Structure formats: structure tokens, C-alpha cells
């Protein structure tokens, strides 16, 4: 379902800009008016790193009117394998300065540089007035800060993440147009979620460009009212398999959105506190299993389950068996259970993942 465009069109494009974006203006559905909406758009980009770099490049090339780029870091040499906006000469300079440079080189886009770190205390004020935010941060603490501010402001956020060879992209909006179900970060990941830093597990550089380009596309769709945004859907990208698929994202709780948009929360997959007699399927990665696990567990990586649940079920002999799915904190398990249940497999989630299970064991020790 298309949504109303977030941006009103500018009156005219400059002669030079009309020539520069000629291939955009000829696109069916976008056209001259859509390009004029892009030219009037004001978008916040939080993070000018692995995801923010391709986002900024794509939006500047598209001719977005103004980008407000937030990042308090300086460029490091180790950034350059995946943060494609920066150059060797930029090492030691603010990352936001690279955004200003590429904008001046590519288009008429204005870049506002914000080098203050977003915190729980200032994010709401710093993001106020932006119709749309793109979250390219690289830690769950930062993502929760950005998400909380966007939820309070009622503005949409395009969200993406990359870890190792896999990526995710979706759109969160706590107060979408009437009749559209609100979806927020905590419908996908519960509070307190964490993940290993990219410095520990690594990031496949080309995937950052792929995910960032998809995030930029989602932003332009919201600005122009074009196409069907990823609101209520999560795009899952697997660089090793060369695949992209999607999973529906349902509300895990009643949102704090205004009453006219609040809808009853659908029930999620069933959860249990302990495996009991069920077969345990661990959907974490090999490096996570090396740290701790449940004895006797079967293992299939999350990406493999959501990509080819039927194949995993047949390979592991899961048909006709009661399964409990476990990950680190429960989020991947929820999505994996949805994929397994679509194959008519009786599967439930181990509540809180390995962390929750360990904590309950300690409580009852």
C-alpha cells in the first residue's frame, strides 16, 4: 500500500538540476512532480559509517533538498573497507565533513553537519522538526535512542543493520496515517538486545552498500509516496547465498501511538520458559554456540531457516516433532518459528533466548 508523500514539491527545479536528474524525471510514477518532492525533502541521517555512507551518496545523487547528518566520530583507516563515502585523506577528519564534500561534488543538496552525540537526553530535541529519519547506527543502545525519539515525535524511521554477511531493512512508524498499523523497534527487537560489535565479528563491505541503497530507496518512497514501503515487513539479505527475502513484522504489544492509529496487538509465536521434552533448535551462529548452548541441541543458522525452512526441516528430521527454537535473546527465534510454522512444524520460542534461560536457571538454583 502506498502512503501519502511526506514532502510537498518545490515549485521549480533549476535548469542544471533538471538536466542532472533527467533519468529520474522520466521514471513512470515518479516524474517531474516526484523529483520536485525529492528536492524539497529534509531527511535526518544518523550515522555516517557503513550504512550512512551509501545512504548519503544515494540521497545526494537523487537530489534530496537537505540532509541533516549526525555523527560524532572521526574517520579511521579501518573504516575505508566499507564506509565508501570517506577517502584516505579524510582519516582523522569528522565523518560528517565527508557528507558535505560529496554533496558539493554531486548535486545541490544542502548538508547540515551535527557532531553532537545523540543521547537519551538530547535526541528528541535534535531530531525535532525532521519529517523522516534514517538510522544507520551500529549499536543497539544507539538504535534504541534514535527509535525512542522518533516514536515520541511520531515520525517514520528507516532502519537497517548489517552483521557479518547478513543484513536487515525495515521501516518503523509509531504514528502512521490512519488505518496503518504502527510498528516500532521493540516489535522486532526487545529492550536490552545486544549484538557483537563489527570489530569482533566483521562486516562484509559490499553488503553495506546493498543495505544502504535499499534504505535510501525506502526513504525516497516515503518522500514521494511511491511504491510500497517496508512498513510491517523486514527485508532479509544474505550476501553468501545471494538472496533477499522478507518476513512480515507484527506488533508485539499495543503501541503508544495516538488512539486513532492504535490497533489490537496480534499474538506472537508461543513461548516457553524451558525446553522440556522438546527438540531444541539453536539458530545462532557457530561463534555464538562456541560460547554456550543447551546440550543436545540441533543447529541451523537463522539465515538458513528463514531462507529455506523446508530444507532445514527435512535435513534435521523435524517434521512431526515438537520443537523449541532458541537464539541469544529471543528475537531471531521468533522469526524462525514463524518460518517453521509456515511449514506446519509445531515450534515454540524459548523465552528470552539463552540469556533468559540461564537467568531462570540461576533463579531456581
For residue 265, what is its C-alpha cell? 496487538
Q: Establish whether 150 is a catalytic residue.
A: no
How much is the pLDDT for 356? 84
Q: pLDDT tens digits, residue range 304-330? A: 898 889 999 999 999 999 999 998 877
Dihedral pair phi/psi, residue 94, rounded to 5°: -60, 140
pLDDT of residue 354: 86
Kindly provide the residue ranges of all beta strands, DSSP E only, lying in 54-165, ordered along the sequence. Answer: 66-70, 110-114, 133-135, 157-163
- At 258 the pLDDT is 35
- Residue 175: what pLDDT? 92
Across residues 154-172, what is the average pLDDT? 94
Q: Using only C-alpha atoms, what is the Rg of the chain?
A: 21
Kindly name the residue from 327, 340, 347, 354 that is annotated as catalytic.
327
Q: What pLDDT is stored for residue 195 in this prediction?
A: 66
Percent of the chain with pLDDT over 70: 92
- With 70 as the cut, is the pLDDT of residue 256 above it? no
Cα–Cα distance for residue pair 238/236, rounded to 1 Å: 7
User: 198 an active-site residue?
Assistant: yes
**What's the confidence (pLDDT) of residue 172?**
97
Place of cell 545541490: 108
Which is higher by pLDDT, 17 or 293? 17
pLDDT at 126 over 60: yes
**Contacts of 290 by beta carbon, 8 Å cutoff, 6+ apart:** none
Distance CA 70, CA 43 (A): 11
Active-site residue, selected from the candidate residues 130, 149, 198, 220: 198
CA distance 265 to 119: 29
Would you state the pLDDT for residue 201? Answer: 65
For the chain, what is the mean pLDDT?
A: 89
Burial class of residue 218 in the structure, from the number of CB atoms within 10 Å of its CB (0-12 exposed, 13-18 middle, 19+ buried):
buried
Q: Is residue 105 over pLDDT 80?
A: yes
Assess whether pLDDT exceeds 50 at residue 69: yes
Is 306 within 8 Å of 327 (Cβ atoms)? no
State how far the alpha carbon of 233 is from the alpha carbons of 53, 66, 157, 188, 338, in Å: 24, 27, 13, 10, 13
Domains and CATH numbers, the chain: 15-248 (3.40.50.720), 271-359 (3.40.250.10)
274 pLDDT more than 70: yes
Whether 191 shows a pLDDT value over 70: the answer reads yes
User: Would you place residue 260 in the very low, low, confident or very high pLDDT band (cuts 50, 70, 90)?
Assistant: very low
The pLDDT tens digits of the residues spanning 23-36 come to 999 999 999 999 99
The reported pLDDT for the residue numbered 194 is 66
Indicate whether 203 pLDDT > 50.
Answer: yes
Amino acid at each position: 500500500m502506498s502512503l501519502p508523500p511526506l514532502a510537498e514539491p518545490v515549485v521549480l527545479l533549476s535548469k542544471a538540476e533538471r538536466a542532472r536528474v533527467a533519468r529520474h524525471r522520466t521514471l513512470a510514477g515518479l516524474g517531474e512532480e516526484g523529483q520536485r518532492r525529492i528536492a524539497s525533502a529534509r531527511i535526518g541521517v544518523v550515522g555516517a559509517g557503513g550504512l550512512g555512507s551509501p545512504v548519503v551518496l544515494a540521497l545526494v545523487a537523487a537530489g534530496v533538498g537537505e540532509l541533516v547528518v549526525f555523527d560524532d566520530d572521526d574517520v579511521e583507516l579501518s573504516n575505508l573497507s566499507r564506509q565508501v563515502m570517506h577517502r584516505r585523506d579524510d582519516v582523522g577528519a569528522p565523518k560528517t565533513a565527508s557528507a558535505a564534500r560529496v554533496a558539493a561534488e554531486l548535486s545541490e543538496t544542502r548538508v547540515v553537519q551535527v557532531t553532537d552525540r545523540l543521547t537519551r537526553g538530547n535526541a528528541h530535541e535534535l531530531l525535532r522538526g525532521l519529517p523522516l529519519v534514517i538510522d544507520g547506527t551500529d549499536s543497539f543502545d544507539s538504535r534504541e535512542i534514535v527509535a525512542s525519539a522518533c516514536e515520541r515525535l511520531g515520525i517514520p524511521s528507516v532502519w537497517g543493520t548489517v552483521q557479518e554477511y547478513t543484513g536487515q531493512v525495515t521501516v518503523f512508524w509509531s504514528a502512521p496515517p490512519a488505518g496503518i498499523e504502527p510498528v516500532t523497534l521493540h516489535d522486532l527487537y526487545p529492550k536490552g538486545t545486544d549484538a557483537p560489535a563489527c570489530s569482533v565479528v566483521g562486516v562484509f563491505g559490499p553488503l553495506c552498500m546493498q543495505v544502504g541503497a535499499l534504505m535510501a530507496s525506502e526513504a525516497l518512497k516515503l518522500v514521494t509516496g511511491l511504491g510500497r514501503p517496508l512498513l510491517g515487513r523486514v527485508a532479509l539479505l544474505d550476501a553468501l547465498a545471494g538472496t533477499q527475502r522478507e518476513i512480515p513484522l507484527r506488533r508485539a504489544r499495543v503501541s503508544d501511538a495516538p488512539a486513532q492509529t492504535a490497533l489490537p496487538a496480534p499474538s506472537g509465536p508461543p513461548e516457553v520458559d524451558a525446553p522440556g521434552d522438546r527438540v531444541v533448535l539453536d539458530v545462532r551462529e557457530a561463534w555464538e554456540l562456541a560460547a554456550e548452548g543447551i546440550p543436545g541441541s540441533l543447529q541451523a543458522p537463522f539465515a538458513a531457516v528463514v531462507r529455506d525452512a523446508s530444507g532445514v526441516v527435512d535435513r534435521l528430521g523435524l517434521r512431526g516433532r515438537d520443537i523449541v527454537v532458541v537464539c541469544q535473546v529471543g528475537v531471531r527465534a521468533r522469526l524462525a518459528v514463524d518460518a517453521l510454522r509456515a511449514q506446519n512444524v509445531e515450534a515454540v520460542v524459548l523465552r528470552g533466548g539463552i540469556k533468559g534461560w540461564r537467568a531462570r536457571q540461576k533463579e531456581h538454583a
